[in-house]
Structure 1
Amino acid sequence: MENGISREEHDEFVRRMEDEHKRTNHRLEALEEGLRQIQDLTASVERLALSVESMAKSQSRQETRLEKLEGRDGEMWRKVSGYVITAIIGIIVGYVFKLIGM
């Protein structure tokens, strides 16, 4: 066997190849686990985005309702203020007419 390799060399080569396959398989498993985690994270981010979008729409509706309620209270306050001012002016005019004798 002058041109060939010895049995020991062949066995050593086989052992090294098996070790390399084990390392490669371990790296592949780690990469697959990382990929799975990234996919899970992507799905979580998608659900979070949908939740935030839904929450933003809800907040927009609540903001609109709040503006209407605040406007209604402001409108009522303006009406009450107008009635009070009208009453005060009426009392003053009535008092002035009384003093004049009308």
Structure 2
Amino acid sequence: MTDEEIAVKLEGHDHEIGSLKHRMSEQEEQNKTIQELVLSVKELALNMQAMLREQSDQGERLAKLESEPAERWSSMKKTVFNTVVGAMAGAVATGLIYIMALYTK
């Protein structure tokens, strides 16, 4: 092989090496971008998990708030029923005492 042929081959290799270096730089940039994307997706997943927990907690609090009026209504019905039954029992007891008082004279 002559010096010229060697020089041409070396120049070709230099050109290929330059092209490979350029491609490698692009690959490193892409790898860096993908790594940043992976970290962003991981952070997003953690935030979504936290939001899911918060939404679950809010659901429990909302259910409690929604059931409160029903509990009050139920309590009020019990109170009214107990008051009516107590008044009727008191009236019956008073009537019986009055009747017994009339017959004991």
TM-score, structure 1 length as denominator? 0.71
Instruction: Determine which of 18, 32, 43 is the counterpart of 1:47.
Output: 43
Instruction: Write the distance in 2 (CA, Å) between the matches of 1:73 and 1:35.
Output: 58
The aligned counterpart of 1:62 is 58
Percent of pairs identical after alignment? 32
- Structure 2 unaligned segments of length 5 or more: list them: 86-105
| Counterpart mapping for 1:2-21 below 5 A | 5-21=1-17
| Counterpart mapping for 1:70-89 below 5 A | 70-80=66-76, 82=77
Moved over 4 A (4+): none
CA deviation string 1:56-98 (max 9, x = no partner):
1111111111101101022223444x37x85xx89xxxxxxxx
> In the alignment, residue 24 of structure 1 is paired with which amino acid?
L
> In the alignment, residue 36 of structure 1 is paired with which amino acid?
K
Q: Which of the two has greater helix per residue? A: 2
Instruction: Write the distance in 2 (CA, Å) between the matches of 1:78 and 1:26.
Output: 78
